[in-house]
Chain A
Amino acid sequence: MSGRQLANSHLGSLEYDPAPESAAIAKVKPEYGLFIDGEFSDAESHEQFATVNPANEESLSMVAQAGAVDVDRAVGSARRAYDKVWSKTTGAQRSKYLFRIARLIQERSRELAVVETLDNGKPIRESRDVDIPLAAAHFFYYAGWADKLDYAGFGVDPQPLGVAGQIIPWNFPLLMAAWKLAPALAAGNTCVLKPAETTPLSALVLAEILEQAELPPGVVNIITGDGSTGAALVDHPDVDKIAFTGSTEVGRLIQQRTAASHKHLTLELGGKGANIVFDDAPIDEMIEGIIDGIFFNQGHVCCAGSRLLVQESVADEVLRRLVRRVEQLRVGDPLDKNTDVGAINSAAQLLRIRELTAFGESEGATRYTSSCELPQKGYWFAPTVFADVAQSHRIAREEIFGPVLSVLTFRTPEEAVAKANNTNYGLACGVWSEKGSRTLWVAERLRAGVIWANTYNRFDPTSPFGGMRESGFGREGGRHGLEAYLDV
């Protein structure tokens, strides 16, 4: 017992048998049309594209490619629904629909979780425990606001904007749809939602849920397609509001195209979040927080803590424990309930991650990559940590949007703040310390929309979320999230 056994103790030596969730639960149909005016229809061109399971590169379903004519049809439907129905409903009635949608999401949560994991590649544990419950929570939360807009702090009887065009990314497909639709509907707008090209399925299941909830036709239209569909939506003259979540590059284009128009705009773009670790941080929980910060959803998170700023005096210890924890991550079949890190969403994203990590090495950072075995088929990238990263390295400046962490060090709180702020982005940061006064001192000086203290990547519908500088503008979530959809 004591003192005798001096060999190392192997973590994870109790092997877990595969515990896969059944793909059949998803009930994915062979093809989906566009959801316009309360029913599914083909694109005018009858063009379709395949949506692929990134974990094995197999086609899941064929979805319609909406063209400019279809976008016009969807916007027209939303306009009619706004004029004739939705602008005349009371807040209490809108609230009723939102509550129904929330409850239907809960009822079909298992199906939605599997759909999300198949289409996106994220681990079922995350879609089951994070994406779907949070999506339902957003509808519940804004259902509560729909009849209380007078008390939201935007004056008496604040008015909706009209027709909202909403373009969402592939990293949290259903959750982003909920972030967009719930406040827009609560505030009295009608919507045209375009899910990402690589992850349209959960939004299409949501369309079925909207039918089940008997939401009046046209109040929400869901159109699938690639970037050209999004561009047509942005350019449509009868859209009053564009809400976009995605890359800074595309966000910039959208802002240019909507400039000097009547269109309201909110953008939620990229980030290069800094997780700042002081020497008095609670070390075990902090390691978990760093791991959650960068490997949650394969690092496909706009607010990911992709830069770790660690106080020099504890840097070696933190790195040692971090590498150990990275090596422990279970990478593989996203449908396995014990998987921690799933598949990269697309071949294009995998290529970008590979390119940027190659720069990390050529610029002189030290690379630690998990020895986990990666599946032969599909898009995979082993969890990676770069140490000895300098502020000037590309991996410290550019958003990688993958399971790659860059570790930098600092000596004083001033230096930590300066380094954290030395970025074009400003979405999220984390501060780890047991000293409340220091946490607040640092938080006050960070230029980022979200600051987490002793945690990371925690989301709640009651809390506003959004960025500064090249991370965009406008807030989603909370009372603040209503402002983006009200004429105030």
Chain B
Amino acid sequence: MAARSVASVDKVSTTPLRLVTPEDRDVQIAATVAVPRIESEAQLKALLTSLSGVDAVGAEARAAKLSTRSIKKSTKLAAIEMAISMVDLTTLEGADTPGRVTSLCTKAMRPDPRDLTVPSVAAVCVYPDLVAHARSVLGASPVAVASVATAFPSGRASLDVKLMDVREAVRAGADEIDMVIDRGAFLSGRIGQVFDEVVAVKEACGDAHLKVILETGELVTYDNVRRASWVAMLGGADFIKTSTGKVTVNATLPVALVMLEAVRDFAETAGRTVGVKVAGGIRTSKDAIRYLVVVNETVGSTWLTPTHFRFGASSLLNDLLMQRLKQQRGAYVRADEFSGD
């Protein structure tokens, strides 16, 4: 940081000096790339070990402190509407049917059919075989079709199978691909393999955006979360995503904090802004607002849009709608006022 001039003492004793400006609190997105091109696994590993460690106690304390922010009145309403626009409305069940997807898509476009000022959600998220159907229902609406691929949720298939999975989903009309990393490879130290897979899937995506699911519940430590975030970002991820929603531990506030710190640091060195998607277990407006506060105070405005922050959820949307009406009317409406999916 450049040295700043020192003002006279007289000036200070009357009015406090203001050498810092509000811009100093911004995340400075780099104009030039200061991250090397990854040529080898050894180089990648060296880069990962050069990252600062995460102190688990401190990270959890910071997340807990941010979750005490009191969001009221117009801020609450704004946050709820923001959260609605960030939802990836998701159904990832073996029992999914075209009918259920139709219902989901309709809801995604008009979350509250009686009030068209409610923004549409960001995307619907389905398995690859239902992408074409979702695409046809959504038509020209701004709601994107996201599809999980790469042998979701375990990621236990050969690269060829994974790539075929991706290409089929893209061909069927997916705008966004949610891939899973090979956690086995990551945890056993085959970091190069994880990186290569991200690169290959990114290529297979073509114009579709790539979200890379780290499955943080299986990575366990925050250090692993930070390193996996960097592997995904270096490999070309447009988004990094916490979880599949299919394991015991899904998105948590401290994990989101660590991932947001990673995208911030990546933007400040690589000059590329990567989005973050939290998924699994986020069911209430209160939860969603806590995440938005962490986004607000860790990375700021660029990430407070659906292009850079998403909630992967299903039941969350109805709670957001209900709380929105509560804010407007001052009283709760029955849960049955809103459609089941």
Contact = CB atoms under 8 A, between A and B. Distances in A.
Nearest to B82: A14
A327 B55 contact: no
A226 to B, nearest CB: 27
B117 interface: no
A7 B29 CA distance: 7
B26 interface: yes
Contacts of A442: none
Given A9-B300, A11-B299, A371 B6 contact: no
Contacts of A150: none
Contacts, number: 185
A281 B55 CA distance: 9
Given A1-B275, A1-B308, A362-B9, A327 B25 contact: yes
Contact of B27 (A3, A8, A284, A364): A8
A120 B70 CA distance: 22
Contact of A337 (B21, B58, B70): B70
B250 to A, nearest CB: 22
Contacts of A325: 25
Contacts of A388: 3
Given A16-B71, A327-B22, A371-B22, A454 B57 contact: yes
Contacts of B261: 284
Nearest to A370: B20
Given A324-B25, A362-B9, A455 B20 contact: no
Contacts of A357: 12
Contacts of B75: 14-17
B207 to A, nearest CB: 11
A183 interface: no
B273 interface: yes
B68 A371 contact: no
Contacts of B283: none
B88 to A, nearest CB: 15
B114 interface: no
A369 B209 CA distance: 42
B301 A284 contact: no
B18 A11 contact: no
Nearest to B4: A366
B304 A13 contact: yes
A382 B82 CA distance: 32
A282 B302 contact: no
A298 to B, nearest CB: 14
A454 to B, nearest CB: 5
B: interface residue count bin: 35 or more
A364 B20 CA distance: 17
A6 B267 CA distance: 9
A: interface residue count bin: 35 or more
A49 B55 CA distance: 48
A338 B20 contact: no
A10 interface: yes
A354 B20 contact: no
Given A19-B72, A337-B68, A13 B300 contact: yes
Nearest to A319: B1
B241 to A, nearest CB: 14
Contacts of A487: none
A14 B18 contact: no
B24 interface: yes
Interface string B186-220: 00000000000000000000000100000000000
User: Which of A14, A328, A354, A369 has most B Cβ within 10 Å?
Assistant: A14
B320 to A, nearest CB: 16
Contacts of B209: 1
A6 B6 contact: no
Interface string A265-309: 000000000000000111111101100000000000000000000
Contacts of B13: 354, 358
B54 A282 contact: yes
Contacts of B28: 8
A6 B31 contact: yes
Nearest to B62: A288
Given A1-B275, A284-B59, A455-B58, A16 B29 contact: no
Contacts of A143: none
24 contacts: A2-B238, A3-B271, A6-B29, A6-B31, A9-B273, A10-B300, A10-B302, A12-B296, A14-B75, A14-B82, A14-B304, A15-B75, A17-B75, A19-B71, A285-B58, A285-B59, A319-B1, A361-B7, A364-B6, A366-B4, A367-B7, A367-B12, A454-B55, A455-B58
Interface of B: 1, 3-4, 6-9, 12-13, 16-29, 31, 52-55, 57-59, 61-62, 68-76, 78-79, 82, 209, 238, 261, 267, 271-275, 292-293, 296-304, 307-308
Interface of A: 1-3, 5-19, 125, 129, 280-286, 288-289, 316, 319-320, 323-328, 337-338, 354, 357-358, 361-362, 364-371, 374, 381-382, 384, 388, 434, 454-455
